[in-house]
Structure 1
């Protein structure tokens, strides 16, 4: 592949407080659940170190709390939330 970096738009829009809460909570919950499943799978099947996933779960849980705090502090009838999120995928030799 000529270009080893690709960028994709994941979220790009203006959302009501309720919709933003649902979108961000779902995204963070999915990532937390992913790491929980990976922890269990790697530990049970391969007895692998799961410290990376444990750290990510803590980071994602803190992010989720910060997002919830931001949403709670927002006067829902006065504001919309603009959310922009991109992901960059880089190919790396194994």
Structure 2
């Protein structure tokens, strides 16, 4: 892919994760992603409370959603481990420009 300016991008897809992983590798990679996102929203909410005296609505909504997905991940990892299976992970990020 050639370098481009933001005015040239309409929609772009980035490949984040692609491959087969042991149970422990999958657990580590995916848990770190979810925990990073949870931490991001916790800090965003904290910042909003400190700066504006109110919670960040998006962060407050996303934190429990992400925690629920993390629980689901734990279940899937445990299932794969009990069946002596690997996990195939494919994750893309789609970026598009939008007006502010």
Q: How many positions carry a matched residue from both structures? A: 94
Once the two structures are TM-superposed, the CA of residue 23 in structure 1 deviates from its matched residue by 0.3
Matched, 1:9 2:11: no
- Of structures 1 and 2, the one with the larger relative CO (CA 8 A, separation 6+) is 1
Structure 2: gaps of 5 or more residues: 1-6
Worse-matched range after superposition: 13-22 or 44-53: 44-53
State the TM-score, normalizing by the size of structure 2. Answer: 0.86
Matched, 1:43 2:49: yes
- Describe the shift of the 1:19–1:76 C-alpha distance in structure 2 as closer, same or farther (beyond 3 A): farther
Structure 1: gaps of 5 or more residues: none
1:75 counterpart SS class? helix
Once the two structures are TM-superposed, the CA of residue 2 in structure 1 deviates from its matched residue by 3.0
Worse-matched range after superposition: 44-53 or 9-18: 44-53
Matched, 1:31 2:37: yes
Output the CA distance in 2 between the equivalents of 1:77 and 1:59: 27
Once the two structures are TM-superposed, the CA of residue 78 in structure 1 deviates from its matched residue by 2.4
2:81 counterpart SS class? coil
Look up the match of 2:74: 68
Matched, 1:89 2:95: yes
